[in-house]
């Protein structure tokens, strides 16, 4: 089955096409579905597999950097509604993830760079060596994709094994995403997900410094590495601050009037911190 490309096709209609395709192909309960493609393909295929005949196995063969280091691991599958992204889904981990960095050679550079934001994120969460490798810059990383994919996978696997259903520590993976999702949304998705997460990681590192969760200089270290990878580090001037704050406060991690941030304490360590006053994100 061949599907059209892009987030616009992460829909129930596409899932429906998959279900019918599975039936026509004679897939039964013992069958296995293989998802070959980026994160969109993985999410819809994994979801279709999780619901077809109450669940058949699937294998992820991610072909984008983002899908290799992030989307294919952790068992989250699903699709978008017109009201918002990832509103419907299930936990259904693939039986196998086969990531071959060779396929990244054809990936547009902007997509590769966007995926690198998630690599840096995993380094900040718990692998300072990975973070340092990223600091070597885009050229080095492009020549050593195996190294960074392998290390990033190792970090994510450890976290999801500890907390598969996001009851606690897995929230560390939200680093950069509280501000990042808000900036992505307010930009009208003009910013790629990874670009928004890069901006979010710097803003959240600054917040960590202000709250003395992190020592001075951490945000600059994060920004320097992101710049070496040609990722943006500042919230675009034309995005209204009030809208970003509003978007953050409806963030689904919100509970009882506070927003839970995964803030970097140092490179290799993240702390979950409840923040009441979201204006603090923009203080100097």
Ligand X SMILES: NC(=O)c1ccc[n+]([C@@H]2O[C@H](COP(=O)([O-])OP(=O)(O)OC[C@H]3O[C@@H](n4cnc5c(N)ncnc54)[C@H](O)[C@@H]3O)[C@@H](O)[C@H]2O)c1
Binding interface with ligand X (CB under 6 A): 5-7, 10, 37-41, 43, 63-64, 66-67, 70-71, 74, 76, 85-86, 103, 106-107, 111
Residue 239 corresponds to which tokens in the numbers above? Answer: 């995005």
Rounded least distance, CB 180 to ligand X, Å: 12
Q: Indicate the length of the chain as a whole number.
A: 284
Sheet holding 96-97, edge to edge: 32-37, 57-62, 96-97
Rounded least distance, CB 186 to ligand X, Å: 17
Rounded least distance, CB 204 to ligand X, Å: 18
Nearer to ligand X, 17 or 86 (CB): 86
Residue 90 corresponds to which tokens in the numbers above? Answer: 């299930």
Nearer to ligand X, 111 or 220 (CB): 111
Nearer to ligand X, 158 or 276 (CB): 158
Rounded least distance, CB 123 to ligand X, Å: 17
Nearer to ligand X, 154 or 265 (CB): 154
Rounded least distance, CB 193 to ligand X, Å: 6
Please say whether the beta carbons of 121 and 70 come within 8 A. no
Please say whether the beta carbons of 249 and 277 come within 8 A. no
Nearer to ligand X, 43 or 251 (CB): 43
Strand segments (E) across the chain: 32-37, 57-62, 76-81, 84-91, 96-97, 259-266, 269-275
Query: Can you give 65-126 as a three-state secondary structure string?
Result: HHHHHHHCCCCEEEEEECCEEEEEEEECCCCEECCCHHHHHHCCHHHHHHHHHHHHHHHHHH
Rounded least distance, CB 90 to ligand X, Å: 11
Please say whether the beta carbons of 252 and 198 come within 8 A. no
Nearer to ligand X, 97 or 278 (CB): 97
Cα–Cα distance measured from residue 89 to residue 128, given in angstroms and rounded to the nearest whole number? 33
């Amino acid at each position: 089955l061949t599907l059209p490309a892009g987030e616009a096709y992460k829909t129930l209609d596409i899932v429906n096409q998959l279900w019918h395709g599975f039936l026509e192909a004679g897939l039964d309960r013992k069958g296995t579905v293989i998802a070959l493609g980026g994160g969109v393909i993985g999410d819809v295929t994994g979801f279709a597999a999780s619901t077809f005949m109450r669940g058949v196995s699937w294998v992820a063969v991610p072909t984008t950097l983002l899908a290799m280091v992030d989307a294919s691991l952790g068992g989250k599958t699903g699709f978008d509604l017109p009201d918002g992204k990832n509103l419907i889904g299930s936990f259904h981990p693939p039986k196998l993830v086969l990531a071959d960095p060779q396929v990244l050679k054809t990936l547009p550079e902007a997509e590769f760079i966007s995926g690198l934001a998630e690599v840096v994120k995993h380094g900040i969460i718990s692998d300072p060596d990975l973070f340092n490798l990223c600091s070597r810059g885009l050229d080095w990383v492009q020549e050593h994709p195996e190294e960074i994919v392998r290390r990033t996978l190792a970090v994510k696997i450890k976290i999801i094994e500890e907390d598969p259903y996001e009851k606690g520590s897995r929230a560390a993976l939200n680093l950069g995403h509280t501000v990042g999702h808000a900036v992505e949304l307010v930009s009208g998705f003009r910013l790629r997900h990874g670009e928004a997460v890069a901006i979010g990681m710097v803003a959240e590192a600054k917040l960590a410094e202000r709250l003395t969760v992190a020592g001075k200089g951490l945000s600059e270290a994060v920004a320097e590495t992101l710049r070496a990878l040609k990722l943006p580090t500042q919230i675009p001037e034309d995005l209204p601050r009030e809208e970003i704050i509003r978007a953050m406060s409806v963030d689904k991690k919100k509970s009882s009037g506070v927003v839970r941030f995964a803030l970097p304490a140092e490179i290799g360590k993240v702390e979950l911190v409840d923040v009441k006053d979201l204006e603090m994100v923009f203080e100097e």
